[in-house]
Amino acid sequence: MEVKRNLSTFMGKRKNWSIPYILFLAFFVVTPLFLIFYYAFTNSTGGFTFDNFRRFWQQPEAMHTFVFSVGVALITTAVCLLLGYPAAYILSRMSSKTAKIMVLLFILPMWINFLIRTLATVALFDFLGIPLGQASLYFGMVYNFLPFMVYPIYNILQKTDQNLIEAAQDLGANPRQVFFRTILPLSVPGVKSGIMMVFMPVISTFAIAELLTINNIKLFGTTLQENIYNGMWNYGAALSLVMLLLIGLTLLFNGDGNAKAAEEGGLI
C-alpha cells in the first residue's frame, strides 16, 4: 500500500515523467558520444594516446579525403542555395493553395529510398551517355539535398510580414532594393537553417558518393565507415571526432539557427 501511494505521488508530479527519457538520453545519446571520445584517445589495449590523431595528421590520404569532402559539401551547399532560394521565393509568392501542392511536390521524392533514387540517377547518366565522375557526384548531391534548402527558406519567406515589404515600397524603394534590403535580411534565419540541413548531411554521407562514382571518388564518410568496419575502432573514433569538431564549428557559425533547424529537421 505504502509503495503504491509513493508511486502515485511520484507520478503525480508531472516533472518526474521526464525521468525515463532523461535516463534513456543518458544511456543512448550521451554515453555513446562519450565512447567516441574514449576510443579516440585510447589505443587497442585501452591506454591513453594521441596516436590516432597523429596518424590522421600524417596520413595524406585521409587528410586529403577530408579536405576534399569539405569542398564537396561547400560547393553542394552553395549550388543548393543558388538554385533553392529563387525557388523558395517563387513558391512564397504563389497563392497558398498552389504553393502547398508545390512544396509537397518538392518533398515527395524523399519518400523513395535515397539509395534507389541514387541508383536511378546513375541510370539517368548512363542513359544520357554522361560518364560517372565529379559531375554525377555533384548532381546526385544537389538532387538529394535541394529540398532541404527550399523548405526552410520557403517557410520563413512565407511568414514574412507583408506590411514590411509594402512599407519599403511606400517609402520609395525600387524592387531591387526591396529584395536586397528587406526580404533577403528577413530570410537569413531560413537560409542559415537551410545551409545546416544541406551541409551537415553532405559532409557525412557515404553511400551516395560510392554509387555515383562507382567508388572512384571517396568522401570522408566512406573513410569513417571503412575504418569502423575493418575493426579499427580507435582510429575510426578519432576520425569521427574530427568530423564532430567540424560540425561543432558549423553549429557555432549558425548560432541561433540551430534550434530552428532542429525543429524543421522533421520536414520529411
Partner 1 sequence: MKKILANSYIGFLLLLLYAPIFIIIIFSFTEAKVLGNWSGFSLKLYASLFHGGIHHSLASALWNTLIIGLIAAFVSMLLGTVAAIGIYNLKPRTRNVVQLVNNIPILNPDIITAISLFLLFVSLGISQGYTTVILAHISFCTPYVVLSVYPRLRRMNENLYEAALDLGATPFYALRKVLLPELKPGMISGFILAFTLSIDDFVVTLFTIGNEGLETLSTYIYADARKGGLTPELRPLSAIIFITVLVLLLVINQRAAKKRL
Positions 172 through 231 that interact with partner 1 (CB under 8 A): 196, 200-201, 203-207, 210-211, 221, 224-225, 228
The three three-digit cell numbers of residue 85, written as one number: 532560394
* Stretch touching partner 1 by CB under 8 A, among 44-52, 57-65, 184-192, 243-251: 243-251
Q: Which is nearer to partner 1, 20 or 163 (CB)?
A: 20
Q: Smallest distance, Å, CB 265 to partner 1? A: 5
Of 39 and 41, CB closest to partner 1 = 39
- H-helix or E-strand spanning residue 24: helix 19-25
Site for partner 1 in 105-144 (CB under 8 A): 105-106, 108-117, 119-124, 126-127, 143
Question: Contacting partner 1 (CB under 8 A), which of 2, 8, 60, 252?
Answer: 8
Question: Using the rule CB under 8 A, which residue among 30, 130, 167, 249 binds partner 1?
Answer: 30
Cβ(30)–Cβ(164) under 8 Å? no
**Can residue 253 be called a binding residue for partner 1 (CB under 8 A)?**
no
Name which of residues 68 to 107 contact partner 1 (CB under 8 A). 83, 86-87, 90-91, 93, 97, 100-102, 104-106
Contact by Cβ (8 Å): 157, 92: yes
What number of chain residues touch partner 1 (CB under 8 A)? 88
How far is residue 211's CA from residue 231's CA, in Å, rounded to a whole number? 23
Q: How far is the CB of 85 from partner 1 (least distance, A)?
A: 11
Q: Burial code of 171-204, b = ≥16 C-beta within 10 A, e = fewer?
A: eebeeeebeeebbeebbebbbbbbbbbbbbbbbb
- The contacts of residue 194 (CB under 8 Å, 6+ apart) are 80, 81, 84, 148, 149, 150, 151, 152, 153
- Find the binding residues for partner 1 in span 37-66 (CB under 8 A): 39
Judged by CB under 8 A, does residue 152 bind partner 1? no
Task: Quote the least distance from Cβ 200 to partner 1, whole Å.
Answer: 5
How many whole angstroms separate alpha carbon 56 and alpha carbon 61? 9
CB of 28 to partner 1, least distance (A): 4
Cα gap 237→226, rounded to integer Å: 12
Give me the residue label for grid cell 539557427: 257
